């Protein structure tokens, strides 16, 4: 272990090598590089003990424990960083952001094909960690990923082939989740907000209009069906939600604050192809606003000459499906957004969306 500039990263590397040691002790080795380095990175991301405001000992800790232990929160591993101060020197999110901006994010399958010797390449460790995080958090792969540890002695391609066979039926979903993960990874990312319901068993869209609510407590939210090539969709939306303690937004978003180049609170749509990308890198996600400020202005102008009392704003964009795809919606919020309680409990905060096929 080479000495690092930050205390955090020194501890991180000690934990990383400790996980390798544990894997060799329990399973004979840690599997091929993507699995061995991925699990080591996963379990070495940690949160140090911090003073607790309460004088009561942390849960599960004896009152007879040393005073220092009583005054601290537990040391925890497998923790995603809430901000840069959580993991100084780690820098994996910076690598993801750089490749995201350059359009060079790797496919999930290419991560599983990384060479046995990574030779300390930080970028490769980043992808191994991200894949391990995905596999342990996704219901389609968690059991298979954990069971694979027992085959740790096998560091050949056979290990990866067996794992792939175990999850092959769900690979389109895992590949789709991977694309969303790399698109959204940033400080504050929380898997509980990204537990998207997605399945290869989703039914085909019937062609009838669809209504759904999009809430701020979750990131991407699926329409619940898949759409065939050639389908064309048009959206209308209404509703309000808190996007910060100070601001309440409608579907077009607020232009006083932005998140990743788009108005905070903007209702966004993503067409996510079901087929897995064929090359070594994943195409950029096509994320667009559902309702624009121009749409809002047009609706206000039209409402002055109409008896229609509806407040829904019809989007001017028509989304064309170019290959079989899922359609997802979300409210544009920072990765670390925490839901804000509604002022009126009788009116849950959400955007109400109507999705209609069109020609």
Give which of 21, 17, 28 is closest to 149, Cα–Cα.
28
User: Which pLDDT does position 155 carry in this prediction?
Assistant: 93
What is the rounded distance in angstroms from the CA atom of residue 75 to the CA atom of residue 20? 20
The reported pTM is 0.88
Quickly state the pLDDT bin for 81 (edges 50, 70, 90).
very high
What is the rounded distance in angstroms from the CA atom of residue 21 to the CA atom of residue 14? 11
Q: Check if the beta carbon of residue 138 is closer than 8 Å to that of residue 199.
A: no
Q: Is it the case that residue 177 has pLDDT exceeding 70?
A: yes
Domain boundaries along the sequence of the chain: 7-45+80-184, 196-357
Length of the chain: 359
Write the CB contacts of 309 (distance below 8 Å, at least 6 apart in sequence): none
User: Which pLDDT does position 346 carry in this prediction?
Assistant: 47
User: Which pLDDT does position 348 carry in this prediction?
Assistant: 60
177-181 LR contacts (CB < 8 Å, sep 24+): 177/134, 177/138, 178/107, 178/108, 178/130, 178/131, 178/134, 178/282, 179/272, 179/277, 179/282, 179/285, 180/220, 180/272, 180/285, 180/328, 181/130, 181/133, 181/134
**How distant, in Å, are the alpha carbons of 34, 158, 204, 345 from that of 171?**
17, 18, 19, 40
Give me 263's structure tokens. Answer: 């108005």
**How distant, in Å, are the alpha carbons of 38, 117, 311 from that of 351?**
38, 49, 12
Render pLDDT for 222-270 as a digit per residue (tens, 0 to 9): 999 999 999 999 999 999 998 888 889 999 999 889 999 999 999 999 9
What is the rounded distance in angstroms from the CA atom of residue 335 to the CA atom of residue 350? 18
- Mean pLDDT of all residues in 286-291: 93
Q: What is the mean pLDDT of the chain?
A: 89
| CATH code at 196-357 | 2.60.120.430
Render pLDDT for 21-73 as a digit per residue (tens, 0 to 9): 999 999 999 999 999 999 999 999 999 887 655 545 555 555 555 555 555 66
Q: Is it the case that residue 208 has pLDDT exceeding 70?
A: yes
What is the rounded distance in angstroms from the CA atom of residue 227 to the CA atom of residue 233? 10
Q: Check if the beta carbon of residue 152 is closer than 8 Å to that of residue 28.
A: yes
User: Which pLDDT does position 338 carry in this prediction?
Assistant: 80
Give me 331's structure tokens. Answer: 């409210």
Render pLDDT for 99-121 as a digit per residue (tens, 0 to 9): 999 999 999 999 999 988 787 78
For residue 326, the cross-strand partners are 226, 272
Q: 3-class DSSP state for residue 116?
A: coil
User: Which pLDDT does position 55 carry in this prediction?
Assistant: 47
């Amino acid at each position: 272990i080479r000495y690092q500039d930050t205390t955090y990263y020194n501890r991180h590397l000690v934990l990383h090598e400790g996980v390798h040691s544990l894997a060799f002790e329990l399973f004979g080795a840690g599997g091929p590089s993507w699995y061995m380095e991925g699990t080591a990175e996963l379990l070495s991301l940690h949160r140090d003990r911090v003073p607790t405001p309460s004088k009561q000992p942390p849960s599960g800790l004896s009152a007879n424990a040393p005073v220092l232990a009583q005054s601290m929160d537990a040391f925890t591993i497998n923790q995603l960083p809430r901000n840069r101060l959580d993991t100084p020197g780690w820098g994996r999110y910076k690598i993801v952001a750089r490749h995201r901006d350059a359009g060079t994010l790797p496919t999930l399958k290419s991560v599983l094909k990384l060479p046995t010797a990574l030779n300390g390449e930080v970028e490769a460790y980043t992808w191994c960690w991200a894949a391990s995080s995905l596999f342990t958090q996704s219901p389609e792969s968690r059991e298979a990923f954990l069971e694979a540890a027992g085959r740790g002695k096998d560091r050949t391609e056979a290990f990866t082939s067996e794992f792939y066979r175990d999850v092959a039926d769900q690979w389109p979903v895992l590949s789709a989740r991977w694309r969303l993960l790399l698109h959204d990874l940033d400080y504050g990312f929380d898997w509980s907000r990204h537990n998207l319901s997605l399945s290869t068993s989703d039914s085909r869209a019937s062609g009838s209009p669809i209504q759904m609510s999009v809430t701020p407590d979750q990131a991407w939210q699926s329409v619940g069906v898949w759409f065939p090539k050639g389908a064309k969709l048009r959206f209308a939306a209404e509703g309000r939600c808190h996007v910060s303690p100070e601001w309440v937004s409608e579907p077009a978003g607020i232009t006083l604050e932005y998140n990743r180049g788009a108005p905070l609170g903007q209702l966004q749509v993503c067409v996510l192809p079901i087929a897995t990308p064929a090359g070594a890198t994943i195409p950029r996600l096509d994320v667009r606003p559902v309702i624009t400020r121009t749409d809002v202005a047009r609706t206000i102008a039209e409402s002055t000459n109409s008896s229609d009392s509806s407040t829904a704003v019809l989007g001017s964009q028509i989304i064309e499906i170019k290959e079989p795809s899922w359609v997802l919606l979300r409210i544009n919020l920072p990765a670390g957004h925490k839901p804000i309680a509604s002022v009126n409990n009788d009116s849950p905060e959400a955007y109400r969306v109507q999705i209609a096929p069109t020609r």
